[in-house]
Amino acid sequence: MIELIKKDLIVDWRQQNPISGILLYLASTIFTSYMAFRGFISIEVWNALFWIIILFTAITAISKSFMQEERRSLYYFFLVKPQLLITAKLIYSFIYLLALAILSLLIFSILFGNPISDYLFFVFNLGLGCLGLSSAFTMISAISFKASNRSIIMAVLGFPVIIPVLILSISNSAKILDQTIWAQVQGNMLTLVSIDVIIIALAFILFPFIWKS
């Protein structure tokens, strides 16, 4: 499994166009938002813009995670168990998206100011949101990989899966920015953890059947 994660890292590093494109998209989107909202951004707008950028970064970075395996799918079919392959993809996608999210947070804090009072609490919620988004898009990418109309399937399947993750993540971060204590957000956090676990479990259940089809 570690070798598969290393392989994804090496492939992304050698094919620098996707990474460069994502970083360019990230920087240009944040800077455009800064030019549009400079001088009058509120905490609510800060929170909304931040999660919008995280969402579209996840779509750009994670939704094509299985597309690059098209030439190697037969090779993996005989050498790698599907459970190991999906585990490596889930771990790599989560680390990748979390790194981009933290980079976005740093740039956001520089340009828009920093309303966060409890960094540990905020980053914990950010990690749960990134876990849900990365797992959902990885699972949907695996499903659409075997289909003919990939873009349509991505849109149809992706929207209902990511909506609960987004609603809870945005709601939690808004309360954290409003300096809400842990006890008042604990229920939402546990629900978000449960949704993440369900998405990951579905990926483990569905992927072996998809991979062998």
Read off the pLDDT of residues 5-53 as tens digits, 9 standing for 90 and up.
666 666 666 666 577 778 888 888 888 888 888 767 788 889 999 999 9
Closest Cα partner for 112 from 32, 191, 185, 186? Answer: 32
Residue whose structure tokens are 């842990």: 182
3-class secondary structure for 189-205? HHHHHHHHHHHHHHHHH
> Which residues, other chains included, contact 182 with Cβ-Cβ below 8 Å and sequence gap of 6+?
121
> Any residues with CB less than 8 A from the CB of 77 and at least 6 apart, and which?
211, 212
Q: For 102-132, what is each residue's pLDDT tens digit? A: 999 998 888 888 888 888 889 999 999 999 9
Dump pLDDT digits (tens) for 40-93.
778 888 999 999 999 988 888 877 666 665 555 545 555 667 788 888 889 988
